[in-house]
Amino acid sequence: MTDMASLMEDRAAAKVISDNLHKPVDWDSPKIARNIKKRYAAERRFKFYGLAAIGVALLALFVLAGSIGSKGYTAFFQTYVQLEITFDQDAIDPDRTGDPAVIGKANFDGLIKQALRERFPQVTGRQEKRDLYSIVSGGASYDLRERVMENPGLIGQTRKVWLISGDDFDMLNKGYISADVEEGNRRLNDEEIAWYDALKSDGAVEKQFHTRFFTNGDSREPELAGIWGAAVGSLYTLMVTLALSFPIGVLAAVYLEEFAPKNRFTQIVEVNINNLAAVPSIVFGLLGLEVYLNVMHLPRSAPVVGGLTLALMTLPTIIIASRAAIKAVPPSIRQAALGLGASPVQTVTHHVLPLAMPGILTGTIIGMAQALGETAPLLMIGMVAFIVDIPGGALDPATVLPVQIYLWADSPERAFVEKTSAAIMVLLAFLVLMNGLAVYLRKKFERKW
Amino acid sequence: MSLSFLLLAVAALCVLSFYFGRQRAIALSGGRYSNLHSLPTHYGMYVALWCGLPALLLLVVWYMFQGSIIEAMIIADLPAEITGDPGKLSLALNSISLIAEGGGQHLTVSPEVVDAGRRLARLHTIANAALIVVMLASASVGIMLSYRKIDPEMRARNNVERISRWIMIACSAIAILSTVGIVFSLLFEALHFFSKISPLEFLFGLEWSPQTAIRADQVASDGAFGAIPLFVGTLLITLIAMAVAVPVGLFSAIYMGEYASSKFRSVAKPALEILAGVPTVVYGFFAALTVAPFLRDNGAIIGLDVSSESALAAGLVMGVMIIPFVSSLSDDVMSQVPQSLRDGSYGLGATKSETIRHVIFPAALPGIVGAVLLAVSRAIGETMIVVMAAGLAANLTVNPLQAVTTVTVQIVTLLVGDQEFNSAKTLSAFALGLVLFLVTLGLNVFALKVVQKYREKYD
Amino acid sequence: MAAVSQSAMTAEPSVASPKMTARDLNLSYGDNQALFDVNLDIVERQVTALIGPSGCGKSTFLRCMNRMNDTIDGVTIKGEVTLDGRDIYDKRIDVVQLRARIGMVFQKPNPFPKTIYDNVAYGPRIHGLVNSRDELDQIVMTSLERAGLLKEVKDRLQSPATGLSGGQQQRLCIARAVAVSPEVILMDEPCSALDPIATAKVEELIDELRSNYTIVIVTHSMQQAARVSQRTAFFHLGKLVEVGETDQIFTNPKDERTKGYITGRFG
């Protein structure tokens, strides 16, 4: 009974509302106007959040680029000091043999030290002298030797020579060490700064373009350290990676896209590829360590092992990109080829692959760019060793650019900060080039079917 | 070096055999290709495949086993006092390989070890020579056998296509092989580790200090291997990263997808993607040398004691790195919400933000959850930023201003540099790797399933 | 010939006080002109059907009437559309309010992935039309009732709307539109995705709604236009060819093209 009553009541209430419902809303009422205002304010706020989010991301990008650029650009120049070197016959080639072997063994370091002592005769103490010698880099004597070897006529003469300076002196000249800081808190004492001022006022300090940075291998001395060794290591590593991952990746993509029956095997492969793409890179490093080094006993620190490890990592990228490119080729082309009696393999090699190649190459370049920037797995397989020599092949111990950056970032010397930043700039330049090439390829061969 | 020459030699043989195979087919055809079952090039490829393929397979198999066989031979000849003790053995093996490479003069080792070193060098030379002989022999045999088979009736094309099909299947199987390889290498070493340290202690222990494990008198003594501080540190940094990446990434995606003009999008989108292309080592450097000092100095100004290797610095920078990842994934997901839903909402007089908040976002939520899970898995596995900017000290804390360490940092520290295999310290890295792999795999599988389901809903 | 019939059209507005009017409406997507000088009056509390072959611009015209084309990039609109004598393309008109006054039902049922209740409550909520939960409940109930759906969904208001059948979903969309008390309801081929039984129900519903709302319906089916509408407008190639009482259009069309279309010679 009560149910019935309440139902009737509901009906009645519904009727009232129902009558109200087709009475137009008074859109000009103050309540509605207020509401509209609030809604538009919310709209503006929401839009602002979106813009702010993009702003935050771009700001981070600018700060990142700015901090690296501002720290790194100085590394492309190096401070040189001009000294008056006496190429003393007795010191270089006392028996006047003129034999390059004898000259090569001469104590050029001593000549530089002597020149420094002559320039600052007031320096006498042991520690003071050591400080004085550190104005010039340990590498300067090699330069001097080379100079004399090339031009033996110098022997017996006195010449003004520009010599590469030590790292602290370089930092002082570049303004990274400030004379205003209390003496105990800086790398150079007051006396050393006075020497600098004296040399500077003679015009005997200048910055020159630092070619060594691009041509040298690693070194413990920041002013002698260069990225060439790491760059060559990266090159060998990437060559191995490319040689393995490109053919394997493309063949796998062709199989999965064109030939594979829909069975369990194919399904497992697909799931595997998708998951491999998301496995942390360091896990690939562990795989490389265990399989390549501990089981197969391949040489440690060698680009070949790095390449093998990175190949497994880039494989999913290449397979996924290649499959997308192959899928984009319209079926009509395959049907046309098959209709002319071409075999499936011929159809793929003659028609599908050439048409998909720009997309495949784009994906491959992006995969290679990822591999070029990868660090963690290479730490696992020992490509993190301190290696001075430029590697001569894929089996020599080597390091790669990102690992070099990691190593330098870990070094305590102040001068390595600018080297690290500069190495990052070089690495980023390579990445920009590669990605630019990928974008160019995509734009040039973009095709709408 | 000899390896690349060997490969070049085999490649040259392949080219030659292709040429001769083709010539023979042409000769047999008597000038009319229609007499042949297949094109002459197919006969050439048939011979070339039989020349190169077995040789290459042989090479791979050879390298898989050469190391362990030689090592076994060396160990077999070592005196029992060395082989009986795993610590001594690994030390001796290190010295032996040093001596074999012509170094190790400064080592003070027993004459057996020196002999073994020389023997190792000799074995390597023999093995390399043998490899060359075997590979070239296999290539030649392959050429001879297949060359003789050339006949106008032979179905060369079908043969070549069958072989290439198997090559393609093998290439696809590499994906499975690498997963299997990962699982087995992690599992093998991790089980080794768990035979020394109980899994319960590893998973639930509160103290982590593997460095103390090495003591002079005990090669494999126990340190403390409780991984909880690592897990907490990893989660803390991941959480900070997500706190940056999820809101920023999501709102960027919303703005790009729903508000931005196409001109703005064409500039801002690639700019955001640059963030994704920056190598992690660069982020690490940025975190360690710019962000961390900035936080420390500013913290000091407002009276906060911020560690110079704070979780906050690493987390913030990692968040920046993940922004484009979240943004592009959620952009994908939200653009899949059908236009009809937007129309329905606009048709009722909803504003853009109301439509986004009440219709698009809820509709896209499963996909966005999937995207965030993928981002979490990436943050957990990220290595270089934390290696360079987070600490090594395994503090059990959730204070973002303090230094914490993560699973990946520990794997790197434990395995970089000289390792003693078989010590619990080294093996623990593999146990950590196993945990890392399983967790990220679980997250990925789950996230991909969620996204997949979502896609199907709107396809 | 065409020019003559065109000017004849402009003279046609025989309607005393139309609810909505379109005057010299032109619309282009970029360089593609989709509507040419459309002049049409919509009579209050009647159903006006827009018919014509596909691509003739009838849907485009419908979307102009509540400014749904605003959301598409590169659209330019010239001319005037009025509601109660006011130009809806006037800068001072708030498009959000406008769309509440002129509701829309789409070709494919598009319930939001929310509960049935929340779907209907969505409009009143965003427009702030209610002060209490009770009021909202009432609006939801009556709207569902109006759409003839209440009986079917009464017991599962909190279950997801996507679980309804196609016809139910479309009626839910109508309930959703009704819930904000619109004056005009635009329907863009509302039955094209429905089976005949669901179509019959929706048509019945349209007929009932006529007593309270002004309805404009785009339809592909001439039978439907004949069944539900009082006035019919025939579009062809972006032009309004002929408009008049439905009976007249179907029995005695003035234009050859209209005749051709309704007798099935093209379409």
For residue range B311-329, list pLDDT tens digits in order.
999 999 999 999 999 999 9
Asked if the structure places residue B399 within a domain, the reply is: yes
Residues B427 and B287 reside in one and the same domain = yes
* Confidence band of A19 (pLDDT split at 50, 70, 90): low
Burial tier of A5 (Cβ tally within 10 Å: 0-12, 13-18, 19+):
exposed
Tell me the per-residue pLDDT of C182-196, one tens digit each, with 9 for 90 and over: 999 999 999 988 889
- DSSP type of residue B37: S
Tell me the per-residue pLDDT of A275-316, one tens digit each, with 9 for 90 and over: 888 899 999 999 999 899 888 888 888 999 999 999 999 999
Contact A255 B275 (CB under 8 A): no
CATH code at position B438? 1.10.3720.10
Domains of chain C: 2-112+182-262 (3.40.50.300)
- Select the residue of B343, B349, B351 nearest C110 (Cβ to Cβ): B343
Output phi, psi for B310, to 5 deg.
-70, 150
* Confidence band of B372 (pLDDT split at 50, 70, 90): very high
Averaged pLDDT of chain C? 87
CA dihedral sign, ordered B51, B57, B59, B62: negative
* Confidence band of C10 (pLDDT split at 50, 70, 90): very low
In this prediction, residue B412 carries a pLDDT of 92
Residues B229 and B129 reside in one and the same domain = no
Residues B243 and B144 reside in one and the same domain = no
Domain limits for position B72 = 2-154
Strands A205-209 and C20-29: unpaired
* ipTM of the complex in this document: 0.89
CA neighbor of A332 nearest in space, from A449, A201, A208, A176: A449
CA C204/CA C200 separation, integer angstroms: 6
Averaged pLDDT of chain A? 87
Token match 């998708």: residue? A274
Interchain contact C208–A (C-beta under 8 A): no
Residues B140 and B280 reside in one and the same domain = no
Residues B248 and B336 reside in one and the same domain = yes
Closest residue in chain C to residue A32, using alpha carbons only: C128
Q: What is the CA C240 to chain-centroid distance, rounded?
A: 16
In this prediction, residue C218 carries a pLDDT of 95
Asked if the structure places residue B118 within a domain, the reply is: yes
Asked if the structure places residue B208 within a domain, the reply is: no
Contact A21 C126 (CB under 8 A): no
> What integer is the mean pLDDT of C226-234?
93
Contact B383 A282 (CB under 8 A): yes
B142 touches B56 (CB < 8 A): no
- Helical H runs in C190-235? 196-209, 222-228
Q: Is the pLDDT of residue B106 over 90?
A: no
In this prediction, residue B288 carries a pLDDT of 92
* Confidence band of B393 (pLDDT split at 50, 70, 90): confident
Q: For chain B, how many structural domains are there in total?
A: 2
Q: Give the residue numbers in A contacting C (CB under 8 Å), as ranges.
A: 13-14, 17-18, 20-25, 27, 31-32, 35-36, 39
Token pair, residue A90, equals 């007795």
* Confidence band of A322 (pLDDT split at 50, 70, 90): very high
Residues B121 and B236 reside in one and the same domain = no
Output phi, psi for B158, to 5 deg.
-60, -40
CA dihedral sign, ordered C167, C172, C177, C178: positive
Interchain contact B348–C (C-beta under 8 A): yes
Q: Which of B336, B337, B348 to mutate to test the interface with C (most CBs of C within 10 A)?
A: B348
Contact A374 B279 (CB under 8 A): yes
B81 touches B57 (CB < 8 A): no
Asked if the structure places residue B292 within a domain, the reply is: yes
Asked if the structure places residue B200 within a domain, the reply is: no
Residues B232 and B123 reside in one and the same domain = no
In this prediction, residue A130 carries a pLDDT of 87
Residues in chain A closer than 8 A to C141 (CB atoms): 14, 17
Residues B354 and B263 reside in one and the same domain = yes
Q: How many residues does chain C have?
A: 267
Cβ atoms within 10 Å, residue B255: 24
Cβ atoms within 10 Å, residue B6: 17
Residue where a domain stops, chosen among B130, B154, B178: B154
Q: Is the pLDDT of residue B125 over 90?
A: no
Token match 């050879």: residue? B62
* Confidence band of B116 (pLDDT split at 50, 70, 90): confident
Residues B118 and B246 reside in one and the same domain = no
In this prediction, residue A13 carries a pLDDT of 53
B374 touches A278 (CB < 8 A): yes
Asked if the structure places residue B162 within a domain, the reply is: no
Asked if the structure places residue B258 within a domain, the reply is: yes
Q: Residues 128 to 187 of B: which have CB under 8 A from any C CB? A: none
> What integer is the mean pLDDT of B107-124?
81
Q: What does C100-166 look like in DSSP terms, one character per residue?
A: HHEEEE-SS----SSBHHHHHHHHHHHHT--SSHHHHHHHHHHHHHHTT-HHHHGGGTTSBGGGS-H
Tell me the per-residue pLDDT of B202-259, one tens digit each, with 9 for 90 and over: 998 888 887 654 444 444 445 788 899 999 999 999 999 999 999 999 999 999 998 9
Residue C13 Ramachandran class (φ > 0 left, ψ -120 to 50 alpha, else beta): beta
Interchain contact B267–A (C-beta under 8 A): no
Output phi, psi for C51, to 5 deg.
-120, 170
Token pair, residue C214, equals 């002004």
Q: What does A96-107 look like in DSSP terms, one character per residue?
A: ----HHHHHTS-
Cβ atoms within 10 Å, residue B252: 31
Percent of chain C whose pLDDT exceeds 70 = 94
CA C8/CA C10 separation, integer angstroms: 6
State which amino acid sits at residue B62: W
In this prediction, residue A433 carries a pLDDT of 93
Asked if the structure places residue B23 within a domain, the reply is: yes
Residues in chain C closer than 8 A to A22 (CB atoms): 181, 212-213
Residue where a domain stops, chosen among B154, B185, B200: B154
In this prediction, residue B109 carries a pLDDT of 73
- Which range has the worst mean pLDDT, B220-224, C144-148, C208-212, C220-224? B220-224
SS3 C233: strand
State which amino acid sits at residue B411: I
In this prediction, residue C3 carries a pLDDT of 40
In this prediction, residue B417 carries a pLDDT of 65
- Select the residue of C97, C139, C142 nearest A27 (Cβ to Cβ): C97
Q: Is the pLDDT of residue A329 over 60?
A: yes
B458 touches B338 (CB < 8 A): yes
State which amino acid sits at residue A209: F
Interchain contact C97–A (C-beta under 8 A): yes
Interchain contact C169–A (C-beta under 8 A): no
Q: Which of A21, A29, A35 to mutate to test the interface with C (most CBs of C within 10 A)?
A: A21
> What integer is the mean pLDDT of B123-129?
87
* Confidence band of A239 (pLDDT split at 50, 70, 90): very high
Residues B267 and B416 reside in one and the same domain = yes
State which amino acid sits at residue C58: K
Interchain contact C154–A (C-beta under 8 A): no
C166 touches A11 (CB < 8 A): no
In sequence order, what are the residues at sequence separation of 6 or more whose Cβ sits closer than 8 angstroms to the Cβ of residue A410? B388
Contact A21 C142 (CB under 8 A): yes
Residue where a domain stops, chosen among B132, B154, B176: B154
Cβ atoms within 10 Å, residue B297: 11
